[in-house]
Amino acid sequence: MADIKIEGYIWLETINGLKIGRGRAKLLNYIDETGSIAAAAREIGIPYRKAWGMVQEMNVFSNSPLVVKNLGGKNGGGAFLTIKGKKIVEEYKKINDQFILFKKNKI
């Protein structure tokens, strides 16, 4: 068994069709940190349009929004994670960390 290498990636999928993998989890995490979809997109190196599409898709397939976008104006716009958005990022991190540990230890 010593020559077996475990590889792969974790993603969460709900019965509604919501899918969260490492890219989407990273996007959500940066939205939470920066308060901005545009800044989060820059952090992970993707175009704003792609990030916005990912956010819209996640919100559509979730039974309640993960990200809420504030419209611009005097104080600017921005975006924030809802409680559900924060929870799903937390769950993803927890499960992914366990998987990484499993890969290292080859349990």
Phi-psi region of 18 (alpha: psi -120 to 50; beta: other; left: phi over 0): beta
- Establish if 70 belongs to a structural domain: yes
In a 3-state reduction of DSSP, which class is residue 75? coil
Tell me the pLDDT band of 98, cut-offs 50, 70 and 90. very high
Q: How many domains does the chain have?
A: 1
- Establish if 2 belongs to a structural domain: no
- Average pLDDT value over all residues in the chain: 91
What is this structure's pTM? 0.87
Output the pLDDT for position 27.
98
CATH number for the domain including 42? 1.10.10.10
Those residues whose C-beta lies under 8 Å from the C-beta of residue 52, and which sit 6 or more positions away, are: 37, 41
- Establish if 15 belongs to a structural domain: no
Percent of the residues in the chain that have a pLDDT greater than 90, as a whole number:
74
For residues 66 and 20, is the Cβ–Cβ distance under 8 A? no
Percent of the residues in the chain that have a pLDDT greater than 70, as a whole number:
92
